[in-house]
Each structure stands twice: as C-alpha cells, then as structure tokens.
C-alpha cells in the first residue's frame, strides 16, 4: 500500500522548493494548496463560498483571492468557515489522485496547514520545513509582491514551528538550500531502508 509522507512548513519556509527535490527523486507530489485553488474554481464551491462571504469577493465570475485572504487571515473563525468548504473538496480530489499512484511506495502530500487541518493524522510520516523568520518574510514579500505586515499576518494565522516540530518525524532547515539538500538525501535514505524492511 502506498504510504503518505506529509510535507509542511510555514509560509515562506520554502516547502515547495523542497518538494521539487523529492519529485526529482521519483516521488509523486500532491500540492494541496494548488488543489485548493483548483477546487475553488468549481461553480458549486464558488456558490458555497459566496453564501458565507458575500458577493464582494467575486470579480469577473471568479473569486478574488486577495479579497478573500484579507477577510480570512484577519479572523480565525472566518478561516475555519472557508476551510470547512474547501477541505472536503480537496480530500476527495486527493483520494482520486492517490488511486492513480498505487504502484509507488510513497507519495508526498504538501500542505501549508497539514497540522491545522488534522490531515497529518492520515500521514505515515511528516516532514516539517523550517527557516528563519526574516528569510521567510523576504521570500514571501518578493514572491507575492506584498508587504511585511501582510506576511506577518499570514504567519501569525498559521501554527508556529515549535508547535509543528514535536509532531514531525523529520525537520529540514531551509535557510541554506545546499544544506537542505543534504538533509533531503538523508531522509530519502531512511525511507529507502524502511521500504526494504516492510
């Protein structure tokens, strides 16, 4: 049976970059955040979101993600409401994807809120990617063309590293990519050994 490796980390930790190295090692990657964006284009999901958050978040028939983010990242209850709509749809999407990966010993499930959503409980092991706060802020400001204040708001809406680490099987420090690659190689070796033993 295909084992699920959860990969998570706070915004700007560089978990997507780390995921690409696992992909290069031949492990299929499921990007939950991308899947979330995809399911939010489904008319029934759009309708459910509009029911909760109103028509002001709609622009040209689609959800304006920045407007929605401004609402949900300011108030945890609003974020929970959004997650209650999106998470079941992503779960269904993932289950369908997983059926097609049966011949792989491992898949990687990459999600920003792996712990917050409770999805980590369905993973066979969890990898958390961490980086210094300043590195994370700089990456997101550059990537999203946003402000330091808005990045900090999003960081504060997520679990802190010291909440994630005790629940993780592996931790990758990602301030220096070359050092991170060494850590990935070690994890792949451990997974390979475990696979041979099972």
- Residue 130 sits in a domain of what CATH number? 3.40.50.300
pTM equals: 0.88
Confidence bin at 17 (pLDDT 50/70/90): very high
Q: Does the pLDDT of residue 23 top 90, yes or no?
A: yes
Q: Over the stretch 67-118, which tens digit does the pLDDT of each residue have?
A: 998 898 778 899 889 989 998 999 999 999 999 999 999 999 999 889 988 9
Number of folded domains in the chain?
2
Q: Is 17 annotated as a binding residue?
A: yes
How confident is the model at residue 73, as a pLDDT? 79
CA distance 110 to 9: 9
183 and 128 in one domain? yes
Domain of residue 146 covers 1-28+105-198
110 and 17 in one domain? yes
On whether residue 35 sits in a domain, the answer given is no
Q: Is 13 annotated as a binding residue?
A: yes
Contacts of 46 (CB under 8 A, 6+ apart): 40, 58, 62, 63
66 and 24 in one domain? no
Q: Is 26 annotated as a binding residue?
A: no
Q: Does the pLDDT of residue 16 top 80, yes or no?
A: yes
On whether residue 34 sits in a domain, the answer given is no
Q: Over the stretch 137-189, which tens digit does the pLDDT of each residue have?
A: 999 999 999 999 989 988 988 899 999 999 999 999 999 999 999 999 999 99
Q: Is 61 annotated as a binding residue?
A: no
Q: Does the pLDDT of residue 119 top 80, yes or no?
A: yes
Q: Does the pLDDT of residue 66 top 90, yes or no?
A: no
On whether residue 158 sits in a domain, the answer given is yes
123 and 90 in one domain? no
Question: 106 with 5: CB under 8 angstroms?
Answer: yes
Average pLDDT across the chain, whole number:
93
134 and 80 in one domain? no
On whether residue 36 sits in a domain, the answer given is no
Place of tokens 């629940």: 167
88 and 12 in one domain? no
């Amino acid at each position: 049976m295909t084992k699920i490796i959860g990969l998570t980390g706070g915004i700007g930790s560089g978990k997507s970059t780390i995921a690409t190295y696992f992909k290069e090692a031949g492990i299929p990657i499921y990007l939950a955040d991308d899947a979330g964006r995809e399911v939010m284009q489904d008319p029934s999901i759009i309708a459910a979101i509009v029911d909760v958050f109103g028509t002001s978040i709609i622009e040209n028939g689609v959800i304006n993600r920045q407007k929605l983010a401004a609402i949900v990242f300011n108030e945890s209850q609003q974020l929970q409401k959004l997650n209650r709509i999106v998470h079941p749809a992503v779960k269904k999407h993932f289950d369908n994807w997983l059926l097609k990966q049966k011949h792989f010993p491992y898949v990687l499930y990459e999600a920003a809120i792996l712990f917050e959503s409770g999805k980590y409980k369905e993973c066979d092991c969890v990898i958390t990617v961490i980086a210094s706060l300043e590195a994370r802020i700089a990456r997101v400001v550059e990537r999203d063309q946003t402000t330091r204040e808005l990045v900090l708001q999003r960081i504060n809406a997520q679990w802190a590293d010291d909440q994630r680490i005790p629940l993780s099987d592996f931790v990758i420090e990602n301030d220096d990519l070359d050092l991170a690659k060494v850590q990935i190689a070690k994890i792949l070796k451990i997974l390979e050994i475990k696979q041979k033993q099972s």
